[in-house]
């Protein structure tokens, strides 16, 4: 079962999610749903490692992999930009 705190944009403890395929970061799983129509619960289950992928990219139809965003990906992107 997915906690309501992981779903709601109005909740101060909602967690950011990142689409590994595209590098896009969303404030909540609901915002990810608005982008590609993915099931909100499936995004959270994927982030928890209970599911391999959730939803498909709206244009390429590629299976999307999700993780809770912790900020480390941003540091990797900055390193790539410097190179």
pTM of the model: 0.71
Residue-wise pLDDT tens digits, 26-40: 999 999 999 999 999
Sign of the dihedral defined by the CA atoms of residues 48, 2, 15, 43, in that order: positive
Number of H helices, E strands in the chain: 3, 3
Residue-wise pLDDT tens digits, 8-63: 556 667 899 999 999 999 999 999 999 999 999 999 999 999 999 999 999 999 99
Q: How far apart are CA 72 and CA 44, in angstroms?
A: 19
Only one residue has tokens 């599911």, namely: 51
């Amino acid at each position: 079962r997915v906690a309501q705190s992981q779903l709601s944009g109005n909740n101060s403890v909602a967690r950011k999610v990142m689409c590994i395929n595209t590098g896009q970061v969303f404030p909540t799983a609901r915002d990810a749903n608005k982008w590609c129509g993915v099931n909100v619960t499936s995004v959270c289950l994927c982030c928890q490692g209970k599911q391999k992928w959730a939803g498909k990219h709206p244009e390429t139809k590629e299976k999307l992999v999700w993780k809770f965003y912790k900020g480390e990906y941003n540091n990797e992107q900055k390193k790539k930009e410097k190179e």
